[in-house]
Structure 1
Amino acid sequence: MGRFPAKIDYENIRNARISENQARLASLGLQKTISELRSITTPVKSPKRKPVKVDFSSVPLRRSNRLKELNPTSPDGLVSIRRSLRLPLDQSPNGKVDDEEEKRPANAPFVDTRLCYSPNVSSERRCMSKGRGSVYDPVFGICCHFCRQKKLCGEEDCKRCGELDVEQPCLGKTDCSVCHSTNGVLCRACLKVRYGEEMEEVINNKQWKCPHCIEEEGSRPYWICNSSFCLKKRKMVPTGIAIFRAREMGYESVAHLLMDELQRQANR
C-alpha cells in the first residue's frame, strides 16, 4: 500500500487566498462601493413613540344615530327601523303582537297587505305536482321546517297560494294542533318521505301533532323530528337522503328507521 501524502496546512492556504482577494478588491476600489451599498440597504430604525394616555372620561363617546334614536336628516328627528316584511307595521316596541295575530295558525302567518309589494308570480307554474311546490315567494311562501323551501304549494284548491289570499291557510303545509309553531310546518313531500304521513289525512285530522309535541307528551317512544336542525341539537349527524336506505330495509319513512335504531341503541 502507498503512503498517504503529508498533511497540508489548509488554514494557511485559506488565509493567503483571503488576503490576496482583499488586496485585489482594494486595488479595484470595490471595498468602498460595497460599504456604501450596505449603508443604503440597511434599514434605519425609527425611534419608538411613547404612548399618549387619553382621558376618555372627558371625551364624548361616538354613537350611531340609530342608538341615539335621532336622525338629523329626518324632519321629525326619528329613525326609521328596518322591519321584516312578515311583521305587522303596528307591532308594539316590546316585540309582541295582538292576541288576534297570535292565534293565527303556523301555515297562515300574518302578511301586512299595506306593504308595497308586487309578487312576481305567474299563473303558469313550473311544476304542477303536489310535491314541494314550484314558485319561490319571499312573502306569501311558507317555509317548510325540514326542506326550508319558502315556496307556494301546488295544491289546486289552495286560495293562499293560488289567489294570494293571506287570510286563508296554506293547504300544502301542515299545522300542529298543539304548538302552532314553525316546527310543525311541513310540506307534502317532507311529510310523506320523512314521517310517512299523507297530507289529506293530516288536514282531516284536527288533532294532528307535530313530532316535537309527540315527543314531549311521550305517546310514541323514540319518535323524534329528523330535520338537520333538530338532529344537530341532539348531537346527531343529519341523515341526508336516507329515504332510499329506509325503504330498502322495509321502513315506511326515515322517522321509522330512526325510531328503530334509537330503540335498539337503548336496549343494548
Structure 2
Amino acid sequence: MGKLRAKSDYESLRNARIVENQARLASLGVHKTISDLRSIVSSAKPKVRKWQKKEYVITPVRRSTRFKGTPLSSSLATNSLRRSNRLRGKATDFEEREEGSDSYSSEGKEKRPANAPLVMIDLSPEDSSRRCNRKEGRGSVYNSICGICCHFCRQKTLCAEKDCKRCGNLDVNQPCIGKTDCSVCHSSNGVLCRACLKIRYGEELEEVRENNEWMCPHCIEEKGINPYWICNSSLCLKNRKMTPTGIAIYRARELGYKSVAHLLMDELQRKNLSS
C-alpha cells in the first residue's frame, strides 16, 4: 500500500509540473511561433529544375581537298609543297662550306673522317703549357673532341706526352699515347690515364706502353689469371654490389700497399679464406 501511495504522489507531482510548464510556454507564445514556422515551411515549395533534351547536330566531316577529289590549282600546288634544298637541287650551306675547305675531296682526295671536328680547336699558350706540365698530376685541360675518356676518372682530358700527335696537334685520327689500351678487349674498360693507372693500380704508363700484351683488370679476371685483381672504379664496384672506395690511396699507402687495387686484392683474398 505504501509503494502505491508513493507512486501516485510522484505521478500527481509530475502531472502538475507538466501543466505548469505548458502554461508558461503558452504565456510566452512559443506554440504560436512554432505553428507560424511550420506554415512558412509548408508553403515554400522547392523549385524543380526542368529537364531539357539536348539535341546534337550532325556536322559534315572535314576533309582535305585531296580526299574531296577537287584538283589543286597549279600555283597552290607548287607553293604548298615544302621541299628541302637537297630535293630542289640546291647545295646546302654545309656542302658549300665543305667545298671551300681544304678537307673536301672531289676526285683523288681523301674524304674528311666522320669523327673529325668541323672547326679545329687551337689551344691557348696557357692551356698548352698547362697540358705539358701535368705529367705528374691529373691536370685540367678538358677537350670533348680530342680527349679520350679515362675509365676511372671519366674525364676527357688531353695527355701531357710530348710525342702524342692527338693531344699535341689535335688530330682525332691518331691514338692517344697518354692513355692505356688493352691488348685483348680494346674497349673503354682498358683506357686509363697516367694518374689513375699509378694511384689505383700501381703501374707506370711507360711500362704498360712497352708491354704489347698488357691486359686490363677486366680481361685478367675473365681469363682467370688473377680473380682477385679487379677493377676498382666506382661503376664496376657498384656492379659487384660493393661500396666505392673513394680516395683510398692514403689508407693503402699507410698500410703498406702499392695501390688501391693491391689493398682490395688482399681484402678479397682474406674474405674468401675466412668464408
With normalisation by structure 2, the TM-score equals 0.56
**Structure 2: gaps (5+ residues):** 1-80, 88-112
- RMSD in angstroms over aligned alpha carbons? 2.2
1:157, CA displacement in angstroms?
A: 1.3
Aligned position for 2:118:
116
Tell me which amino acid in the other structure corresponds to 1:112. N
Once residues 111 and 198 of structure 1 are traced to their aligned partners in structure 2, the CA distance between those partners, rounded to angstroms, is 33
| Equivalent of residue 129 in structure 1, options 128, 134, 138 | 134
Secondary structure of residue in 2 paired with 1:126: helix
Please say which structure displays the higher CA radius of gyration: 2
1:135, CA displacement in angstroms?
A: 1.2
Aligned length: 166
**Structure 1: gaps (5+ residues):** 1-71, 79-109
Tell whether the 8 Å contact from 2:130 to 2:139 is kept in structure 1 after alignment.
no
Once residues 125 and 142 of structure 1 are traced to their aligned partners in structure 2, the CA distance between those partners, rounded to angstroms, is 19
Matched, 1:212 2:214: no
1:165, CA displacement in angstroms?
A: 2.2
1:166, CA displacement in angstroms?
A: 2.3
1:74, CA displacement in angstroms?
A: 5.3
Tell me which amino acid in the other structure corresponds to 2:129. R
Alignment of 1:65-104 (within 5 A): 75=84
| Equivalent of residue 202 in structure 1, options 202, 205, 208 | 208
With normalisation by structure 1, the TM-score equals 0.58
Matched, 1:244 2:250: yes
1:75, CA displacement in angstroms?
A: 1.6
1:122, CA displacement in angstroms?
A: 2.2
1:73, CA displacement in angstroms?
A: 5.6
Secondary structure of residue in 2 paired with 1:136: coil
Tell whether the 8 Å contact from 1:111 to 1:166 is kept in structure 2 after alignment.
no
Tell whether the 8 Å contact from 1:132 to 1:189 is kept in structure 2 after alignment.
yes
1:177, CA displacement in angstroms?
A: 0.2
Tell whether the 8 Å contact from 2:120 to 2:170 is kept in structure 1 after alignment.
no
1:233, CA displacement in angstroms?
A: 0.3
Tell whether the 8 Å contact from 2:149 to 2:157 is kept in structure 1 after alignment.
yes
Once residues 134 and 259 of structure 2 are traced to their aligned partners in structure 1, the CA distance between those partners, rounded to angstroms, is 20
Aligned position for 1:235:
241
Once residues 177 and 167 of structure 2 are traced to their aligned partners in structure 1, the CA distance between those partners, rounded to angstroms, is 9
Once residues 237 and 207 of structure 2 are traced to their aligned partners in structure 1, the CA distance between those partners, rounded to angstroms, is 26
1:77, CA displacement in angstroms?
A: 9.3
Tell me which amino acid in the other structure corresponds to 1:175. D
Change beyond 3 A, Cα 1:73–1:152: farther
The structure with the largest helix share of the pair is 2
Percent identity, please. 67
Alignment of 1:122-161 (within 5 A): 122-123=124-125, 124-127=128-131, 128-130=133-135, 131-161=137-167
Once residues 221 and 227 of structure 2 are traced to their aligned partners in structure 1, the CA distance between those partners, rounded to angstroms, is 7
Once residues 206 and 76 of structure 1 are traced to their aligned partners in structure 2, the CA distance between those partners, rounded to angstroms, is 51
Once residues 219 and 236 of structure 1 are traced to their aligned partners in structure 2, the CA distance between those partners, rounded to angstroms, is 22
